[in-house]
Amino acid sequence: MKVLGKNLGNIFMDIPKIRNMEEFAAFSGVSRPTVSRFFHDPDSVRSVTREKLERALEQCDYRPNIFAINQNRKLTKNLGIVVPYLADPFFAEIARRIETLIILAGFRPILLSSHGDPLLEVENLESLRSIKPAGVLLAPLGRSSNISAIEKFCLDVPTVLFDSNIEGVGDAFVGHDNFQATSVMIEYLTRTGEPPVFFEMRDPPNPNAGKRRKAYVEAMNKKELEQQIIQIDGDGWQLEEIGYRGAVKAINGKELSRSTVFCSNDRLAIGFLTAAYELGVKVGLAPDCDLRVAAHDNHPVSHFTCPRLTTISHNFAAIAQKSVDTIMALIESGERSQERTTTLFDGELIMRASA
C-alpha cells in the first residue's frame, strides 16, 4: 500500500496545474482565440484541433469555469477598439491585427478613432458603453486625454490599454518598451558613427515621446556622451509636416552639432528626410553622405523612404496577441483584475540605408 500510495502521489504531482485558459492554450499548443472558440462551441474548430484540445484536457487538471462561460454568453459579442488617430498607418496596422484576433475568438470588433480629439475620445467610450460591450481595448491619446472620464469608464467596463499608458487606469497595459528600444538604437548609432542628436516635438501628442527623450538622456549619460536635444514647434498629428518644417529650420540654422540624427518617431523622420533632400543634404551610409538619420516605430512607410529608414520596430504581433488574450481572460473569468498588470515587449533594431 505504501508503494502504491507513493506511485499515485508521483502521478498526481506530475499532472500540470493549469490555472486559466491562457495557460491551457500554452500547454495545448493551440492559439488562445481557438481555445476560446472551442470552449464556447467545440464544433466551431476543426476536428483535428478539437481532438488535440481534448487530449490536452485529459493530461492536465484544468477545467473551465462553465458557469462563467455561460454567464458570458449573455454578454454582447461586441469588443471595442479605440485608437487615437486611425489615419496614421501605425495605428491602422496594429488595429488590423487586433481586429483579426478578436474575430477569430468569435467576437465582433467595433473600431473607433479619436482623431486626436479628447472630446471625441470620451464620446467614443460613451458610445461603446451604450451597447454594453464585453470589453474594450483602448490606445488613449495620453497627454490630452480626459483622465477622469477614462477612469470612470474603466471602472464600469473591462478595459485593456495598449500602446500608450495612463498609470493606474484600466485592468492592464500592453505596450512597447521605449527604454529598451531607445537604448538599443543609441548603442548602434554610437558604435557605428557619431553620437546622435535627438530630434523631437516640443509638445508631442503621444506620451511615448517623453519616455524616449528620457531614455535618450539616460543612455547618453551612461556612455558619458554629450547630449543635444532639438525640440521643434508644432501641434497635432500632422507629424510629417511638423518634422519637415523643423528639419528645414535646424539644417538652415546649422543647429545640428553632429552628423547623426535620432528622431523621436518615424513620421518626424519622414519629414526630416524630405527637408534634407530639398536642401541638398545627402542622407545615408556612403562616405559622401552628410547625415545619418534614424528613428523609432517601424512605421509601414519607413520601408519605402529614400533612403530607406533605419528604425526600431514594435513587436506588433506580440502586442496585439497579448492585448486580446488579456481582455479575453477578463471576459471569460467574469471577474475584474485584482491587480493591474503591465506587459512590455522589446523593440527590434531594423538597419537600413539611412543610418
pLDDT digits (tens, 9 = 90+) for 135-178: 999 999 988 899 999 999 999 999 999 999 998 999 999 999 99
For 25, 81, 110, 214, the CA distances from 97, given in Å and listed in that order, are 19, 11, 13, 30
Q: Contact at 8 Å (CB) between 47 and 4? A: no
Average pLDDT, stretch 281-299?
96
Position 236 scores a pLDDT of: 83
Contacts of 67 (CB under 8 A, 6+ apart): none
From CA 164, how far away is CA 84, in angstroms rounded?
A: 10
Average pLDDT, stretch 315-323?
95
Position 4 scores a pLDDT of: 35
Is the pLDDT at 261 greater than 60, yes or no?
yes
**Secondary structure (3-state) at 195:** coil
Query: Position of cell 454594453?
Result: 132
For residue range 50-96, list pLDDT tens digits in order.
Answer: 888 888 887 886 766 554 554 455 567 899 999 999 988 889 999 99
From CA 353, how far away is CA 58, in angstroms rounded?
A: 53
pTM: 0.77
Residues of the chain with CATH 1.10.260: 2-64
Domain 75-177+316-346, classified CATH 3.40.50.2300, yes or no:
yes
Residues of the chain with CATH 3.40.50.2300: 75-177+316-346, 178-313
* Phi, psi for residue 254 in degrees, rounded to 5: 50, 45
Position 18 scores a pLDDT of: 77
Grid cell digits, residue 298: 517601424
Average pLDDT, stretch 199-206?
91
From CA 225, how far away is CA 92, in angstroms rounded?
A: 37
Position 142 scores a pLDDT of: 84
| CA nearest neighbour of 333 among 26, 68, 23 | 68
Q: Where are the alpha helices (DSSP H) in the chain?
A: 2-14, 21-28, 32-40, 47-59, 66-72, 89-104, 118-130, 147-156, 178-192, 208-222, 239-252, 266-278, 316-333
Q: Contact at 8 Å (CB) between 49 and 29? A: no
Domain 2-64, classified CATH 3.40.470, yes or no:
no
For residue range 210-253, list pLDDT tens digits in order.
Answer: 999 999 999 999 999 999 999 999 988 899 999 999 999 999 99
For residue range 98-146, list pLDDT tens digits in order.
Answer: 999 999 998 999 999 999 999 999 999 999 999 889 999 999 998 889 9
* Phi, psi for residue 210 in degrees, rounded to 5: -65, -40
Position 51 scores a pLDDT of: 81
Position 55 scores a pLDDT of: 84
For 34, 44, 80, 263, the CA distances from 102, given in Å and listed in that order, are 11, 15, 10, 33
Average pLDDT, the chain: 88
Position 13 scores a pLDDT of: 47
From CA 230, how far away is CA 240, in angstroms rounded?
A: 16
DSSP secondary structure letter of residue 131: T
Position 74 scores a pLDDT of: 56
Domain 178-313, classified CATH 3.40.50.2300, yes or no:
yes
Is the pLDDT at 194 greater than 90, yes or no?
yes
Position 325 scores a pLDDT of: 94
Average pLDDT, stretch 280-290?
96
Position 5 scores a pLDDT of: 39
From CA 125, how far away is CA 141, in angstroms rounded?
A: 13
